Amino acid sequence: MTDVTQIVLAKRPVGDVTPDCFREEKATLPALNDGELLIVSHYLSLDPYMRPRMSELRSYVPPFEIDRPLTGGSVGEVVESSNPKFAKGDTVIGLLNWATHTVHDGKGLRKIDPTAAPLAANLGVLGMPSFTAWYGMKHICKPKAGETAFVSAATGAVGQVAGQLAKLAGAHVVGCAGDEQKCQWAVREAGYDACFNHRTERDYGAVLDKLCPKGIDSNFENVGGKIFHAAFARMNNFGRIAFCGAISEYQDAEPLAGPPKMFAIVQRRLTIQGFIVSDHNAMLPDFVAEVGGLLKSGKLKSRETIVDGLARAPAAFMGLLKGENFGKLIVKIG
Amino acid sequence: MTDVTQIVLAKRPVGDVTPDCFREEKATLPALNDGELLIVSHYLSLDPYMRPRMSELRSYVPPFEIDRPLTGGSVGEVVESSNPKFAKGDTVIGLLNWATHTVHDGKGLRKIDPTAAPLAANLGVLGMPSFTAWYGMKHICKPKAGETAFVSAATGAVGQVAGQLAKLAGAHVVGCAGDEQKCQWAVREAGYDACFNHRTERDYGAVLDKLCPKGIDSNFENVGGKIFHAAFARMNNFGRIAFCGAISEYQDAEPLAGPPKMFAIVQRRLTIQGFIVSDHNAMLPDFVAEVGGLLKSGKLKSRETIVDGLARAPAAFMGLLKGENFGKLIVKIG
C-alpha cells in the first residue's frame, strides 16, 4: 500500500489546453500482482505528441482516459518487484504515469545504466526525441552537401538534434524558432546557417526565399500549419519531407486545410513521409552508436529545461504547446 | 521543304481549356540540318499532364510555348534522316509535334518494332501510361492480399492498368470513374471489386466507407481534389499514396487547398510519393517483361479510344479533361 500523488486527465481540451484539464490527486496503490513492479519516478518527459492523446483522436497511441493519470516517457527506479525481469534498485526507462509512483507490468520497460549519463539525458539527447531526429534525418530527409535542409521548431528537443545532424551531413541548414534567444542559440551553438523567428516574421514565404535561395531539398517538419505550407511551396525536385509533428495545429479546434497546389508533389516528385519513431525501435542500437559517439566527441550540443516538481507539470506542458520551453522539457519528480 | 499541318498553342488557358487556345496552321519545314530527322506522325497520345504544360507552371517539363506546336508522345515513321542513328523507314516513338510531320534531333526518340503490336498500343497499354501504372503500383503502392487499393480515374489509360495490377496482387480494389458505362467495364472487364460514379455520388466519404470497409491501404491517385481528400481521410496505418496526377485540379484557376488534418500523415505513418515515370526509364525493360507477359497471357485487358484526324485533337483533348474519353485516348494522324 503506497501513497501516491498523480495528475489525471480531468477533461478533454477543445482548442487550448487549460488548467482545468488536469487534476492532481492523492491515491493509494494496491499491493502488486504477480509480474508487476512498483516504480518511483525521477524524471518525466513532456512532449508535444501528448496533446493529441488528450483528445479522442484516431491516433497512433490510444487517447488518455478521463480520470486516469496521464503517462509519459520517464526514468525511475524499481522499489518493489514481483516481476522476475526486474529487481529492486534497477533504473528503468519507459512510459510511466504523471505520478510519484507507478505500478507497471514491465512491458516496454527497459533497464538503463544510471552511471552512463545524467539520468535526464535518457529522455532527451540520448532518448526518444533525439532518436526521432536521427531516424527522420537518416532515413527520410537524407540531407547532403550542396542541399538545403529546413527544420521547423529548430531548437526543440527533436529539432535541435535534427538541425545539427543535417549540418554534420554538410547541408545548408535553416530553422525557425519562437524567440530571438532561441534563434541565436540555433546559429551560435547548434550551427544552423540561419534561423528566423516565426513569431515576428509576418511573411514566411519571403523569409524562406531569402534564407533558402536555392529552395529546400529536405524539410524536417515539427510545426505544421502555415510554416509547413510555406516550406512545401519551396521544395525542390525530388525533395523529402519527414513529417514528425504539427505542434501549431494541435490546439486548433477546427482542422486547418493542407497546402494548396498539392499537385506540386507530382511536379517536383516529392516524398512526404510521416513516422513514429517507436515503429523503428530495432534501429535503437544504430542510433545509440552514432549519436552517442557524436556526443562523446563534442560534435553534438543539447539544451534542456528541467522543471522541478510534479505539480508544475501541467503548467510546463501548457507552456510547451505555446513554445515557452527552450530545448528538451523535463520534469524532475523525485 | 515539306508542307505540314500543325496545331499551335494560341493562348494559355485560364481555367477550362477553350477552342481558342489552339490554332491549326500550315507551315513549310526547312531542309534538315545534320543530326536531324523528318518524321511523319501516325498516332498522337493525348494525356492529362499536357494541361499543366499549357499554363506557365513551374513543372517537370517546360510549358508549351505560345505560337509553337504542342507536343505529345507519338508513334511515327522516319521519312528522311540526317542522323546516323535512324534510317528512312524506321518506326519511332517519342515526343513529336501535334502535327503531320516533325523535324526532330533524335534525342529521346526510340525505335520500335512495328510488327510486335498494333502501333497505337505503344502509346497505351505497352507505353507510357501503362509504365506509369506499373511503376506506381510496383514501387509505391505495393498492394497485397488482404489490403484495399483505391484507384481514381479507374478506367483511364493509367488507372485501368493500375487497378488490374492491384487485383493481380490480390488486393480488394475499388475505383471511381465518370459514368456508369465505365464503372461497369471496370468491374466486369478489369476485375475491380467495386467502382463508383464520381459524377452521381454526392458524398465520396460515405461511398468509400461502404466500398472500403477496412479502410484504404494504398491509393493510386490520378484525380486529386475532393476525391483525393476523401481517400486520404480513410488511409490506414502505413498507407501508401502514389501521387500520379490531379486531373480534377488542372482546370482550376484558383488552387484548391490540400486535405485537412495533414497530421494524419504522422498519426498513420503515411507515405505520399509523387512521381513522373520518365525519371525511371531505366526500369522500362522490367516493365515490358512483366506487363508484356500479362498481355500475352490474357491477364491484362485494355480499352482505348482512337480519334481520327489531327484536326480533332483539340476537341478530343478538351473532352479528356472533362472525362469524356474511355480508356487511353489516341489520335490517328496519318
SS3 content of chain B, % helix, strand, coil (to 5): 30, 30, 40
Report the DSSP pairing between strands B216-221 and B235-243. Answer: parallel
Confirm whether B100 is domain-assigned. yes
Same domain, A114 and A145: no
Backbone angles phi, psi at B127, to 5 degrees: -120, -155
Same domain, A135 and A272: yes
Tell whether the torsion through CA atoms of B144, B153, A232 and A268 is positive or negative: positive
CB pairs < 8 Å spanning A and B: 118
Confirm whether B70 is domain-assigned. yes
Cell numbers found for residue B224: 486529386
Out of A224, A258, A275, the one facing B257 most closely (by C-beta) is A258
**Are A269 and B272 in contact (CB < 8 Å)?**
no
Residues in chain A within 8 Å Cβ distance of B275: 266, 269
Residue B256 — pLDDT band, cuts 50, 70, 90? confident
Using DSSP's 3-state secondary structure scheme, residue B197 falls into strand
Out of B258, B269, B271, the one facing A257 most closely (by C-beta) is B258
Residue A79 class from Cβ within 10 Å (0-12 exposed, 13-18 middle, 19+ buried)? middle
Residues in chain B within 8 Å Cβ distance of A52: 263, 267
Report the DSSP pairing between strands A235-243 and A216-221. Answer: parallel
Q: Kindly report the nearest CA distance between residue B274 and chain A, in angstroms.
A: 4
For the cut 70, the answer to whether the pLDDT of residue B58 exceeds it is no
What is the rounded CA–CA span in Å between residue B26 and residue B3?
7
Residues in chain B within 8 Å Cβ distance of A227: none
Q: Answer for the pair B242, B220: CB distance below 8 angstroms, yes or no.
A: yes
Q: Kindly report the nearest CA distance between residue B49 and chain A, in angstroms.
A: 10
Residues in chain B within 8 Å Cβ distance of A262: 224, 228, 243, 246, 249, 256, 258-259
Residues in chain A within 8 Å Cβ distance of B272: 265, 270-273
Q: Residue B148 is part of which domain span? A: 128-278
Chain B residues with CB under 8 Å of a chain A CB are 52, 57-60, 224, 228, 237, 243-246, 249-250, 255-276, 279
Residues in chain B within 8 Å Cβ distance of A245: 263, 266
Q: Which residue of B has its CA nearest to A232?
A: B258
**Are B271 and A267 in contact (CB < 8 Å)?**
no
Same domain, B59 and B10: yes
Give residue-wise pLDDT tens across range B157-173. Answer: 999 999 999 999 999 99
The pLDDT of residue B117 is 85
Confirm whether A287 is domain-assigned. no
Q: Which residue of B has its CA nearest to A275?
A: B269
Cell numbers found for residue A323: 513554445
Confirm whether A292 is domain-assigned. no
Residues in chain A within 8 Å Cβ distance of B240: none
Confirm whether B82 is domain-assigned. yes
**Are B255 and A260 in contact (CB < 8 Å)?**
yes
Distance from CA of residue A55 to its chain's centroid? 18
Chain A residues with CB under 8 Å of a chain B CB are 52, 57-60, 224, 228, 237, 243-246, 249-250, 255-276, 279
Q: Answer for the pair A54, A21: CB distance below 8 angstroms, yes or no.
A: yes
Residues in chain B within 8 Å Cβ distance of A279: 269
Q: Where are the alpha helices (DSSP H) in A119-201?
A: 128-136, 159-168, 180-188
The pLDDT of residue B59 is 58
Q: How many helices (H) and strands (E) does chain A have?
A: 10, 15
Tally of structural domains, chain B:
2
Q: Kindly report the nearest CA distance between residue B27 and chain A, in angstroms.
A: 33
The pLDDT of residue A60 is 61
The pLDDT of residue B20 is 97
What is the rounded CA–CA span in Å between residue A210 and residue A220?
19
Q: Answer for the pair A29, A78: CB distance below 8 angstroms, yes or no.
A: no
For the cut 90, the answer to whether the pLDDT of residue B230 exceeds it is yes
**Are B266 and A245 in contact (CB < 8 Å)?**
yes
**Are A260 and B258 in contact (CB < 8 Å)?**
yes
Confirm whether B159 is domain-assigned. yes
Cell numbers found for residue A131: 532518436
The pLDDT of residue A253 is 72
Residues in chain A within 8 Å Cβ distance of B249: 262-263
Tell whether the torsion through CA atoms of A308, A309, A310 and A312 is positive or negative: negative
**Are B60 and A269 in contact (CB < 8 Å)?**
yes
Q: Kindly report the nearest CA distance between residue A303 and chain B, in angstroms.
A: 25
pLDDT (average), residues B27-56: 94
CATH code for the domain of B245: 3.40.50.720
Give residue-wise pLDDT tens across range A96-141. Answer: 999 999 999 999 999 999 988 899 999 989 999 999 999 999 999 9
Q: Answer for the pair B98, B69: CB distance below 8 angstroms, yes or no.
A: yes
Q: pTM of this prediction?
A: 0.89
Same domain, A18 and A153: no
Q: Which residue of A has its CA nearest to B61?
A: A267
**% of chain B residues with pLDDT over 70:** 99
Q: Which of A235, A261, A278 is the last residue of a domain?
A: A278
State the amino acid at position B179 in one-letter form: D
Instruction: Please enumerate in sequence order all residues whose Cβ is within 8 A of that of A114, keeping only pairs 6 or more positions apart, or say none.
Output: A91
Give residue-wise pLDDT tens across range B199-215. Answer: 999 999 999 999 999 99
Same domain, B318 and B253: no
Confirm whether A289 is domain-assigned. no
Instruction: Please enumerate in sequence order all residues whose Cβ is within 8 A of that of A63, keeping only pairs 6 or more positions apart, or say none.
Output: A12, A52, A53, A54, A55, A56, A57
The pLDDT of residue A246 is 86
Mean pLDDT per 10-residue segment, chain A (334 residues)? 93 94 96 96 95 77 91 97 97 97 95 90 92 98 98 95 98 96 96 97 97 98 94 97 89 82 93 96 93 91 94 96 91 95
* Neighbour count for residue B172 (Cβ, 10 Å): 22
Same domain, A94 and A216: no
Q: What angle do CA B151, B120, B223 make, to 5 degrees?
A: 20
Q: Which of B244, B262, B278 is the last residue of a domain?
A: B278
* Neighbour count for residue B191 (Cβ, 10 Å): 16
For the cut 70, the answer to whether the pLDDT of residue B318 exceeds it is yes
Out of A237, A245, A258, the one facing B258 most closely (by C-beta) is A258
Same domain, B54 and B166: no
Same domain, B92 and B198: no
Same domain, A310 and A274: no
Cell numbers found for residue A303: 539544451
Residues in chain A within 8 Å Cβ distance of B253: none
Same domain, A160 and A269: yes
Q: What interface predicted TM-score (ipTM) does this complex get?
A: 0.87
Same domain, B157 and B35: no
Cell numbers found for residue A116: 552512463
Residue B323 — pLDDT band, cuts 50, 70, 90? confident
Confirm whether A149 is domain-assigned. yes
Same domain, A72 and A88: yes
CATH code for the domain of A56: 3.90.180.10
